Amino acid sequence: MSVITPDLIAQHQLTPDEFDKIVSLLGREPTYTELGIFSVMWSEHCSYKSSRLHLKKLPTRSKHVLVGPGENAGIIDIGGGYAIAFKIESHNHPSFIEPFQGAATGVGGILRDIFTMGARPIAVMDALRFGPLDDAQCGARNRRILEGVVSGIAHYGNCFGVPTVGGECVFEPSYNGNPLVNVFALGVFKHDEIFFGRASGVGNPVIYVGAKTGRDGVHGATMASAEFTEESKQKRPNVQVGDPFLEKLLLEACLEAMKTGAIVGIQDMGAAGLTCSTCEMGSRAGTGIDFDLQYVPQRETGMSPYEIMLSESQERMLLVAEKGREEEVFSVFRKWGLDAVTIGTVTGDGLLRVRDHGAVVAEIPNRALADEAPLYNRPYTKPRQLAPPDAPQFESASLEADLLKILGSGDVCSKRWIWEQYDYMVRTNTTAGPGGDAAIVRIKETNTSVAMSLDGNGRFSGLDPREGAKLLVAECCRNLSTVGAQPIAATNNLNFGNPERPEIMAQLVETIEGMAEACAFFETPITGGNVSLYNETLGDAIFPSPVLGIVGLLDTAAPVAIPFKNEGRDVLLIGGFGRPDAGRFGGTQYAKQVVGEFWGKPPALDMDYEKRVQAAIREIARKGLAESAHDLSDGGLAVALAECTFGGMGAAIEVDFDVRPELLLFDESPSRILVSTANAEEVKKIALFHGVESPRIGVTIKERLRIGNGPATLIDCSLDNLRGAWDQALNRSLHPEHV
């Protein structure tokens, strides 16, 4: 038996105070295995010890919410006896160390979170952040990470058979040493098919199913709770290896086993593997679990109890069955060729008792692990000022060149190179796939479709975390409304640096508070999510990077899309011109790509107006009045107009607005949506009813995009030029040697 030394405690990333708390909870010193168990359960990744206090501020309830945070995924009622489960998870640290497997197992992990609740996964989306592909120092590595991450996501999702229907991808130097890979998954089921991760019923058997346990991923959760240093590459063995075929078998077997009625509770083994699933299932049910490691199927010989308990081998589940009905469960898993073994029983003593060939190697109250983890009210000051307050001097040499440059930039250009590698249609539910404002999947058994939007804007959050978070909620809801969907619930992934630094902690706190306010206002409660901290390499933190996934509902029908369709249609700007202001222009794509600076405040948001704009566009979309609709975001009016022309129909835009042209064209004020319509009068009536401006700004024409302000022509460009700049840009930056 190892002796617990201060060094050993530090290696487990436990503080002396935390160790003292362990001793007082146990009434004795922990064993080596117990120390390992505490270290993963009390890691930032599993315990949310820095964020829990603030996460409580988020709204979590509404009439649609069937299950809120605390379970493996949130559940929302969608009517007709059906429900959806959805959640987002990060796999940032593993994806930096080993991009392909890191991203692949990120997909695998979130899919298990969904089907462990009984839902069949029907959609995945990814929010990706990398360093610039042309970065002088890190470009080659960034390109390798991007290629690895995308092929990892494709490998896992395509084989598993879930469509990857959308997402986003952004490039910033602050992600050079810390790429972000956030994966969102959504599943569907009936109300009476919901399962929970609860070990209920004293005497019931605890059953291990799925892949065998190996040494992979030991300590993955603690790795994800530390900054990167030069030594991080040595942690590569901490990254798990995924097997999507096995996951597919596990999915089918679990859903089929659930139908037998013999399963009482079920939970996937994700971060902290067997440790987390046993103590959480026991803790939720107020029970204990007594099991013997000798029965755990193992892939390698000579594994210690410590390694078995901390392994993060993929594609494993823990379930509790009704005593006496084990065989019903086993026969289903046999059919699918999977291991299913009883490893222990549910007890009434509330203890996690781990045995090795009968001898007790760990005995810890479940509640101590799951519920009594340290809770920190970490000190916070003001968010760190990342940019000067005032705008620099800037003047465009050619607005057309500026537009082409932004269209060809990594953030704005077509992401087709990425999403064509994903099977985005399998299961034939995808009525709007990648590349639109929101993705839509229909629920075949009902007349309802689910729209989803995944978004984040690190630049806005960097300038003002609180306002950035509100803008983010507004943007996601606007994306959904633009396709006619009513936003109903959200999941968040909070990616930040080291919370032990007060100015980073302040970013986190302000983001959560801003998000809480906006989510309450837009009636989109947060039903679950993930916090990823310590996203720093050698002391450089990422931009504060909240990522938000919001889902909405609409009736199943052919959805309204971005491209202009027909010639001679009126183009209306629902919401009007916004409030362009040079001091609030420093977070825009124009500032980033053209001016090359970062300054001031993010655009101003009037939440009440935003809500009315969204209500108006939903009504316009629902009544079929919009032939096309596209919300303004990155790159503002000019980029949105260009994107509307990529279907081959252009526009002649004439406005008369007293503002400098850079701001008119590229300001990113929220609350604005472009529509083309054959019935402008009706559209304007609806806008007026909601108290929203809806200026007619032009008409669709063939072959060109023209934008004029008063007598001045700002842009006059062929559609081929616009599309050429946008379409192949990502491919070109990934393969610079071919240019």
Partner 1 sequence: MKFGVVVFPGSNCDHDCWYAPAKNLGFPTEMIWHDSSTLGDVDAVILPGGFAYGDYLRCGAIAKFSRVMTAVKKFANDGGLVIGICNGFQILVESGMLPGALLRNRGLKFICRPVDLRVETVDSPFSAEAAKGQILRMPIAHGEGCYFADDRTLDELEAEDRVLVRYVDNPNGSLRNIAGILNEKRNVMGLMPHPDRACDPLMGSTDGAVIFNSMAAAFAAIAK
- Please give the residue ranges that form the binding site for partner 1 (CB under 8 A): 151, 154, 158-161, 243-246, 248-249, 252, 336-337, 419-428, 430-431, 442, 444, 556-558
Strands (DSSP E) along 608-735, which ranges? 628-631, 649-655, 673-677, 696-702, 704-709, 712-718
Q: Residue 450 Cβ, how far from partner 1 at the closest point, in Å?
A: 14
Rounded to whole angstroms, the Cα distance separating 222 from 682 reads: 58
Beta carbon nearer to partner 1, 428 or 713: 428
Beta carbon nearer to partner 1, 232 or 260: 260
Q: Give the pairing of strands 288-292 and 351-356.
A: parallel
Opening angle at CA 181, ends 177 and 183, nearest 5: 170
Q: Residue 731 Cβ, how far from partner 1 at the closest point, in Å?
A: 10
* AA identity, residue 27: G
DSSP codes, 191-239? GGG-------STTPEEEEEESPB-STTTTHHHHTTS-B-GGGGGGGGGS
Rounded to whole angstroms, the Cα distance separating 531 from 514 reads: 16
Q: Residue 675 Cβ, how far from partner 1 at the closest point, in Å?
A: 22
Beta carbon nearer to partner 1, 427 or 696: 427
Q: Which alpha helices (DSSP H) does 409-464 contain, by range? A: 416-419, 458-463
- Helix (H) / strand (E) element for 440: namely strand 439-442
Q: What are the tokens at 165? A: 């229907």
In three-state secondary structure terms, 20 is helix
Burial letters 319-345, b for 16+ CB under 10 A, else e: bbbbeebbebbbebbeebebbbebbbb
Q: Residue 146 Cβ, how far from partner 1 at the closest point, in Å?
A: 13
Rounded to whole angstroms, the Cα distance separating 37 from 369 reads: 8
Rounded to whole angstroms, the Cα distance separating 440 from 443 reads: 10
Beta carbon nearer to partner 1, 212 or 660: 212
Q: Residue 84 Cβ, how far from partner 1 at the closest point, in Å?
A: 18
Contact 507, 518 (CB under 8 A): no
Contact 474, 610 (CB under 8 A): yes
Beta carbon nearer to partner 1, 101 or 694: 101
Q: What are the tokens at 519? A: 């989510």
548: left (phi over 0), alpha (psi -120 to 50) or beta: beta
Beta carbon nearer to partner 1, 66 or 557: 557
Q: Residue 190 Cβ, how far from partner 1 at the closest point, in Å?
A: 17
Q: Which alpha helices (DSSP H) does 3-69 contain, by range? A: 6-11, 16-26, 32-41, 44-47, 52-55
333: left (phi over 0), alpha (psi -120 to 50) or beta: alpha
Beta carbon nearer to partner 1, 377 or 428: 428
Beta carbon nearer to partner 1, 335 or 685: 335
In the DSSP assignment, the letter for residue 176 is S
Which of 115, 36, 43, 72 is closest to 315 using CA atoms?
Answer: 115
Beta carbon nearer to partner 1, 245 or 689: 245
Residue that has been written with the tokens 């460009």 in this structure: 717
Q: Residue 111 Cβ, how far from partner 1 at the closest point, in Å?
A: 13
Q: Residue 336 Cβ, how far from partner 1 at the closest point, in Å?
A: 6
Q: Residue 273 Cβ, how far from partner 1 at the closest point, in Å?
A: 23
Active-site amino acid positions: 45, 91
